[in-house]
Structure 1
């Protein structure tokens, strides 16, 4: 199941008593996620929201303020979706870590997937202190914190030092964002499966021998390699 999305159609067909501020946020999020911040003007947002232009200035001091507020609301919704999907993927920490990529793949195959709204927004804003960049950074910090919780749980179950878990969490976030970026650019949802395979390998490397519940599973699925030419020659010499 993909993250619940806000569309301009929904914004235009809400009940008459819906708050104008909420409709402006809905329209801003939908338009900016689909087309970008700079390509989306205030007039387009106001029209999509079915609001008067003066309503915009009643609730927001600038376009950046509106975008930041819309992204903050998306952060809450996206994180609820991702956490729920991850926790539903398994009972063990390792199953949940690996399951994150299955959750992402469902998102990648959904209609209207345009990558990570927060990476997209941060890429359009130069200043690190801009409210939009601040919201994007806070989103990644929240995502990293959730991944760190799962990494800590995995480390405890595998007998791994917490310092290793901290490094694992940062690397896991890179796998997540990397999969999102590749899926967006290539249009290939299987980028999530590649990231999942890389994650399995990483856990095998970090876990003590015999501690990772994926080690024996992965080994059993590894195809046998044909002996190298040099090994074959040595074998022939042994039998001479």
Structure 2
């Protein structure tokens, strides 16, 4: 006989918020979060100090998970830096083509959190720096003339692919992004 342990209120709030802030944005109401998590309002304040604290923890958790997915995608592509970078673009293209795709959680949060001092912005900035570092390392390994600039370009391309995937699903953002990524890679090689 196996017994399943139901997650506690903190974990249920995180799971509910991770799902609802992705599908509905960070503006999702507290009541909807509490209902989805099946917890009392008091749990939100005890564990996170309020909705803003919950949003920050969701972003922190999501960025850690997504950064690991980038690493895994790159590692699965082997040792060739070009293949590793293109694998990321290809994977994001597949994600953006999914009918349940709602866009980039981090771009949406940055746009919705209008207070520039909101602690969520610190999390999204750190996440982008992590991705920039991952990309720059690959460009360095490629011998790219401007690895930091190429990483900036690839990050811009990723943001564009994810935004276009959410707003123009009838287009071909994945194919366009891959073509542009090939140009970014080739532009700095001897």
TM-score by length of 2: 0.91
**Hey, what's the Cα distance between the residues in 1 that align with 2:33 and 2:41?**
9
Conservation of the 8 A alpha-carbon contact between 1:109 and 1:189: no
In the TM superposition, what whole-angstrom CA distance separates every residue of 1:208-232 from its partner, at most 9, and x where no partner exists?
1xxxxxxxxxxxxxxxxxxxxxxxx
Which of 1 and 2 has higher RCO (CA within 8 Å, sep 6+)? 2
Structure 1: tracts of 5 or more residues without a match: 1-14, 209-240
Aligned twin of 1:53: 41
Deviations 1:41-63 (A, max 9, x none): 11111110011221111101121
C-alpha contact (below 8 Å) 2:16/2:33 kept by paired residues:
yes
The answer for the alignment partner of 2:9 in structure 1 is 20
How many angstroms apart in 2 are the aligned matches of 1:67 and 1:127?
14
Are the aligned partners of 1:108 and 1:189 in contact in 2 as well (CA < 8 Å)? Answer: no
Deviations 1:151-171 (A, max 9, x none): 11111xxxx44xx11111111
1: distance between equivalents of 2:149 and 2:170?
Answer: 28
- Which residue does the alignment assign to 2:139? 151
Q: Which residue of 2 aligns with 1:175?
A: 157
1:195 aligns with 2:184: no
1:86, CA displacement in angstroms? 2.1
The gaps in structure 2 that reach 5 residues or longer are none
Q: Which has the higher Rg, Structure 1 or Structure 2? A: 1
Displacement after TM superposition at 1:200 (Å): 1.2
C-alpha displacement at 1:188, in angstroms? 4.2
Deviation of the 1:135 alpha carbon: 1.3
* Deviant stretches of 4+, over 3 Å: none
Question: Which digits, 9 at most, give the CA deviation of each residue in 1:133-188, with x for residues without a partner?
Answer: 11111111111111111111111xxxx44xx1111111111111111111111014
Aligned pairs, number = 187
Q: Distance in 2 between matches of 1:170 and 1:81?
A: 19
